[in-house]
Amino acid sequence: MRNQPVKIGLMGLGTVGTGVVRIVQGHQEDLQKQTGLAIEVAKVLVQDKEKERSLSLDKSLITTDAADLFSPDIDVIVEVIGGVHPAKEYILQALDNGKHIVTANKDLMALHGAEILSKAQEKGCDVFYEASVAGGIPILRALVEGFSSDRITQMMGIVNGTTNYIMTKMSQEGAAYEEVLKEAQELGYAETDPTADVEGHDAARKMAILSTLGFHVDMSLEDVDCKGISQVTAEDISYAKKLGYEIKLLGIAKRDDELIEVSVQPTLVHRTHPIASVNGVFNAIYVHGEAVGETMFYGPGAGELPTATAVVSDLVTVVKNMKLGVNGRGSVAPYKEKRLKSDEQIVSRYFLRLIVDDKSGVLAQITSILAEHDVSLEQVLQQPYNEGGQAEIILVTHHASRKNIYSVRDLFEALDSVIEIKSLYRVEGLERK
């Protein structure tokens, strides 16, 4: 039975990497009690050895050569450098050298997770990536372990704290998108180039990871229908609130009879659903299983210590597996055929906001088009739009296929009486399975 310390090769000493070192060094007694072994950071890969850092480390531990982390005395690679390249090459090389992997890299796992997990199975190595999705929320471990005897039918959640902060401020203060985005950048919640967050790309990567793991299929990023929040207005949010909803950037993954849909989009969530009350930079993921029913996971989605905590938690699992001699048995590559829903098979409720000529017969035209495409209405709100003889019509539909909704939208755009389609959003959360 192994008694010597477990040695870690850490790739990256930025915010998360620094947090990992702090936890490993500061919680050594707790880690030894949990695993039965000491854990040491033996090598740290950085780009610049001379850079000033908030953490004091023995200079002999720091290297700029990745090959130093593949030496026989290193047991586990912790990768927190981010990006796809060279992280992918490093991880595959580490697996070829029999190293276990812990990573926080959502970009890499969303794009190449299936390949990495297959390589891990081949080499009998662990690959854990809890921190890649929702920071300190243990959602991936819950999917693998907590739902191992259940079948997940739906995952829906807020998986990007930046956009949730923006949507919360817009909802609570009635502020415009551009104003709140600027504030988020000043506070450090949003990057100078916020595209990955506000256009939904970050959330889409996380939903690809969740759906791959939850549905056991090789879900690629291209399979995720993605739309961001940059077009959401204060008026949209105001009307949503009047109708009993909050607008959130939601990741939605559903499985019906082995047919799957995965999307990221601004969505109206009924105020009675728990996700509607998740505000600020917090994340929340709602999971529905056939047996267990509804569960929800909530917590901080980013930050040095929440993310580093998830990394070290994975590290503890690897070390426990080493002690038991069961490494490589927890990494399950996708094994089911991927079958995606068509637009005709994707069914939801929808919110439409139209600017129309304020004259008789317009609403009749609109309702006639809806009826022809099997779209019925749940709520209708109409009021003057401005002093130029225009009206604003807000519609919330009953369940309809995306194909029919898109057909209706195209026909509305062709009507002379419809000046503009301001908004088209999905609606979730009133009916609870």
Annotated catalytic residues are: 206
- Which residue in 200, 199, 198, 218 sits closest to 208, CA to CA? 218
Which pair of tokens denotes residue 271? 């105020």
What distance in Å separates the CA atoms of residue 82 and residue 68, rounded to the nearest whole number? 19
Cis before residue 384, ω within 30 degrees of 0?
Answer: no
Residues with Cβ < 8 Å from 50, sequence gap 6 or more? none
In one-letter notation, the amino acid at residue 185 is Q
- The torsion angles phi and psi of 161, rounded to 5 degrees, stand at -70, -30
The Cα 224–Cα 200 span in angstroms is 10
Bridge partners, 299 (sequence order): 283
Bridge-based pairing state of the strands 62-63 and 293-300: unpaired
Q: What are phi and psi of 378, to 5 degrees?
A: -100, -40
Termini Cα distance of the chain: 49
Torsion angle, CA of 233/239/245/249, rounded to 10 degrees? -10
Q: What is the CA radius of gyration of the chain?
A: 24
The 3 state secondary structure assigned to 337-398 is CCCECCCCCCEEEEEEEEEEECCCCHHHHHHHHHHHCCCCEEEEEEEECCCCCEEEEEEEEC
Neighbouring CB atoms inside 10 A of 225's CB total 18
